[in-house]
């Protein structure tokens, strides 16, 4: 678990919120926020991509599915673990199809709950790292000159220097100079690393 990851709990049952909070703290999770309603969560919580949400499906006023829909509408992305009673499994399946990470049935064993939350946090940490990697790659791309960007596009398309030089109507030697600058600015140690960075950042090869 990343130190600054937060576990959010949304359940209208006071006993559930309290018992889960106590369990999580006892197992080393310190960043926990519990809310008695979906609207309270929406009004006060500030979840990040690295966090996770433990969400009850059956709640008055605004239920778990409605909260999930609102979270999706806001463009927020973090793992949601749905808590459900046995008869609510079909609803939980709907939640999974809408993007929920997993669901767990009440009453749940402590080990099962902790395992589920740990997997959700690991997934969130990985996604958060990927997003940071994408943003760093895009930042590096922005430092390139228009000509260097054209050379980058040729490189990740797999075209040899001579072909790139012909396409851009410049000498192969000039391409080599631009290529070295691209590698330096992109902080790439190899062409394969450069290609991986470009793919991770979603740079469209068809445009390249």
Write out pLDDT tens, residues 63-117.
999 999 999 999 898 999 999 887 777 888 888 888 899 999 888 899 999 999 9
The DSSP secondary structure of 125-139, one letter per residue, reads HHHHHHHHHHHHHHH
Q: Which of 25-29, 129-133, 164-168, 174-178 has the lowest mean pLDDT?
A: 129-133
Query: Is residue 206 a part of any domain in this protein?
Result: no
Tell me the CATH number at 57: 3.40.50.2300
pLDDT of residue 88: 75
In this prediction, residue 185 carries a pLDDT of 94
So what's the pLDDT on residue 63? 94
Same domain for 53 and 100, yes or no, is yes
Residue 138 lies in a domain: no
The answer to the question of residue 137 being in a domain is: no
Q: Both 103 and 186 in a single domain?
A: no
Final residue in a domain of this structure, among 128, 155, 184:
128
- Decide if 68 is inside a domain: yes
Please indicate, yes or no, whether residues 95 and 167 belong to a single structural domain of this protein: no
Please answer whether residues 5 and 52 qualify as being in contact, where contact means their C-beta atoms are separated by less than 8 angstroms. yes
Q: Are residues 147 and 86 in the same domain?
A: no
* Residues 173 and 103 reside in one and the same domain: no
Looking at the structure, tell me whether residues 114 and 148 fall in a common domain: no
Query: Does position 132 have pLDDT exceeding 90, yes or no?
Result: no
| Average pLDDT, integer, range 37-56 | 95
pLDDT tens digits for range 20-41: 999 999 999 999 999 999 999 9
Listed as own residue / partner, the contacts of 12-19 with beta carbons closer than 8 Å and 24 or more positions apart are 12/36, 12/37, 12/56, 12/59, 12/60, 13/56, 16/56, 16/83, 16/106
Q: Is residue 208 part of a domain?
A: no
Could you tell me if 123 and 148 lie in one domain? no
Range of the domain at 170: 143-200
Choosing from 128, 162, 180, the residue where a domain stops is: 128
Q: Is the pLDDT of residue 200 over 80?
A: no
Clarify whether residues 150 and 121 are in a common domain.
no
Do 149 and 123 fall into the same domain?
A: no
Q: What is the pTM of this model?
A: 0.68
Q: Look over the chain and give the mean of its residue pLDDT values, rounded to a whole number.
A: 89
Cβ burial of 155 (10 Å; 0-12, 13-18, 19+) is buried
In a domain, 135, yes or no: no
Q: How confident is the model at residue 131 (pLDDT cuts 50, 70, 90)?
A: confident
- Token pair 């390249």 is found at 208
CB 52 within 8 A of CB 124: yes
Domain count, the chain: 2
Going by C-beta distance under 8 Å and a sequence separation of 6 or more, which residues neighbour residue 10?
34, 35, 37, 38, 40, 41, 53, 54, 55, 56, 59, 64, 67
Instruction: Quote the pLDDT of residue 38.
Output: 97
């Amino acid at each position: 678990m990343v130190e600054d990851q937060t576990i959010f709990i949304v359940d209208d049952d006071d006993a559930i919120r309290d018992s889960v909070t106590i369990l999580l703290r006892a197992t080393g999770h310190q960043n926990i926020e519990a809310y008695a309603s979906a609207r309270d969560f929406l009004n006060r919580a500030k979840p990040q991509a690295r966090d996770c949400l433990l969400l009850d499906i059956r709640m008055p006023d605004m239920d778990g599915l409605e909260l999930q829909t609102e979270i999706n509408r806001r463009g927020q992305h973090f793992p949601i673990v749905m808590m459900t009673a046995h008869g609510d499994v079909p609803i939980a399946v709907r939640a999974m199809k809408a993007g929920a990470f997993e669901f767990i049935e009440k009453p749940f064993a402590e080990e099962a709950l902790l395992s589920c939350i740990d997997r959700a946090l690991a997934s969130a940490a990985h996604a958060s790292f990927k997003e940071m990697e994408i943003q760093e790659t895009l930042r590096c791309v922005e430092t390139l000159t228009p000509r260097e960007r054209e050379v980058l596009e040729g490189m990740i398309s797999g075209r040899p220097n001579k072909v790139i030089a012909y396409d851009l109507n410049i000498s192969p030697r000039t391409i080599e100079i631009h290529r070295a600058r691209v590698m330096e600015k992109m902080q790439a140690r190899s062409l394969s690393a450069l290609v991986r960075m470009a793919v991770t950042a979603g740079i469209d090869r068809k445009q390249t």
